[in-house]
């Protein structure tokens, strides 16, 4: 699995490199800052999901690659802004200085803005035959990263820090903060891949469950992982008073829940038969990861 993922990451990175090509003009530093964070060693989970869902639905990955890269840009911008002093105030991410440490706060804010903006530049360059479908996909992308998606979840996360929240509230938070763009990665992949309405719905069910399982695993790793593997201090969630599954239901129950959600995710793909094999294996791989 690691090797197959490496191959896909290289494919995605080739396009990200092209879409984020540096320009030799007076604003050159913004390109450097955007590239620094995008090429800081991300797992490319969202683009990988999109490409493989597209393939599973019988589509052409060239149709979705701009969307896959856009989603990675959006994911990266959210990390840059999350790390800012006024937000989580993190100095390190994946073992490297965060954007505002490396480039200063003003440039980090603008680099985040620029990545969000660039995402929509890239997808609106579409000039294929399915322009109506592409327009719909742009809308799904935008909604998932907005106030009823990722940004909404970030606000709720911020507001709930240091407060006791319920499991339902935690689920709502994650369904938006990390879940929304994992879902749009999958549903855009299905839509642009030519999937039927039933298939898009199945893929959405898969993504919804995978997103929760993935998040729980993140919370578990913050407690059980090693600093070297994670690239950040262990126990930082607890220290920052973050609401996590481990804090709310304990480690053992968290493991059970993660298992349960990942089983539901895989089950949702049954209608694709053999074609779902890679995504099912990927689900297991993600839930057993160490970083």
Q: Taking the complex as a whole, how short is the minimal distance between the CB of residue 103 and a second copy, in angstroms? A: 11
Site for a second copy in 89-118 (CB under 8 A): 100, 104-107, 109-110, 112-114, 116-118
CB of 254 to a second copy, least distance (A): 23
Among 169, 204, 205, 284, contact with a second copy (rule: CB under 8 A): 169
200 binds a second copy (CB under 8 A): no
Q: Is 146 near a second copy (CB under 8 A)?
A: yes
Candidate residues 153, 195, 211, 225; the one interacting with a second copy per rule CB under 8 A: 153
Here the tokens at position 12 are: 């995605």
Contact 181, 149 (CB under 8 A): yes
Decide whether 139 or 196 has the Cβ nearer to a second copy: 139
Give the per-residue SS3 of the chain: CHHHHHHHHHHHHHHHHHHCCCCCCCCHHHHHHHHHHHCCCCCCHHHHHHHHHHHHCCCCHHHHHHHHHHHHHHHHHHHHHHHCCCCCCCCEECCEECHHHHHCHHHHHHHHHHHHHHHHHHHCCCCCCCHHHHHHHHHHHHHHCCCCCHHHHHHHHHHHCCCCCCHHHHHHHHHHHCHHHHHHHHHHHHHHCCCCHHHHHHHHHHHHHHHHHHHHHHHHHHHHCCHHHHCCCCCHHHHCCCCCHHHHHCHHHHHHHHHHHHHHHHHHCHHHHHHHHHHHHHHHHHHCCCC
Q: Kindly state the smallest distance separating residue 23's Cβ from a second copy, in Å.
A: 7
- Binding part of the chain for a second copy, among 24-32, 207-215, 234-242, 249-257 by CB under 8 A, reads 24-32
Q: How many residues bind a second copy (CB under 8 A)?
A: 55
x-or-dash string of contact with a second copy, 121-140, rule CB under 8 A? x--xxx----xx-xxx-xx-
> Which residues inside 60-79 make contact with a second copy, applying CB under 8 A?
77
Whichever of 136 and 289 has its CB closer to a second copy, that residue is 136
CB of 177 to a second copy, least distance (A): 10
Q: Which residues bind a second copy (CB under 8 A)?
A: 23, 25-27, 29-31, 34, 77, 81, 84, 86-87, 100, 104-107, 109-110, 112-114, 116-118, 120-121, 124-126, 131-132, 134-136, 138-139, 142-143, 145-148, 151-156, 158-159, 169, 172, 176
């Amino acid at each position: 699995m690691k090797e197959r993922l490496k191959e896909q990451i290289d494919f995605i990175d080739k396009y990200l490199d092209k879409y984020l090509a540096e320009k030799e003009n007076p604003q050159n530093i913004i390109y450097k800052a955007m590239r620094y964070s995008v090429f800081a060693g991300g797992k490319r989970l969202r683009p990988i999901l999109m490409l493989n869902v597209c393939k599973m639905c019988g589509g052409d990955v060239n149709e979705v690659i701009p969307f896959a890269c856009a989603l990675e840009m959006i994911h990266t911008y959210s990390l840059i802004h999350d790390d800012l002093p006024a937000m989580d105030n993190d100095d390190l991410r994946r073992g490297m200085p965060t954007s505002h440490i490396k480039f200063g706060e003003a440039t980090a804010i603008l680099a985040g803005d620029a990545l969000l903006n660039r995402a929509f530049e890239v997808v609106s360059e579409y000039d294929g035959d399915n322009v109506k479908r592409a327009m719909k996909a742009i809308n799904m992308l935008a909604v998932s990263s907005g106030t009823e998606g990722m940004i909404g979840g970030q606000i709720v996360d911020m507001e709930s820090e240091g407060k006791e929240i319920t499991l339902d509230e935690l689920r709502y938070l994650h369904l938006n903060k990390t879940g929304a763009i994992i879902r749009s990665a999958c549903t855009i992949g299905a839509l642009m891949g030519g999937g039927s309405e039933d298939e898009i719905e199945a893929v959405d069910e898969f993504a919804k469950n995978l997103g929760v399982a993935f998040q729980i695993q993140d919370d578990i790793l913050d407690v059980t992982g090693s600093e070297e593997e994670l690239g950040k201090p262990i126990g930082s969630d607890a220290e920052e008073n973050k609401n996590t599954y481990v804090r709310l239901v304990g480690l053992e129950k968290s493991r059970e829940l993660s298992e349960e959600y990942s089983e539901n995710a895989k089950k949702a793909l049954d209608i694709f038969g053999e074609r779902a094999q890679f995504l099912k294996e990927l689900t297991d791989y993600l839930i057993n990861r160490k970083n």
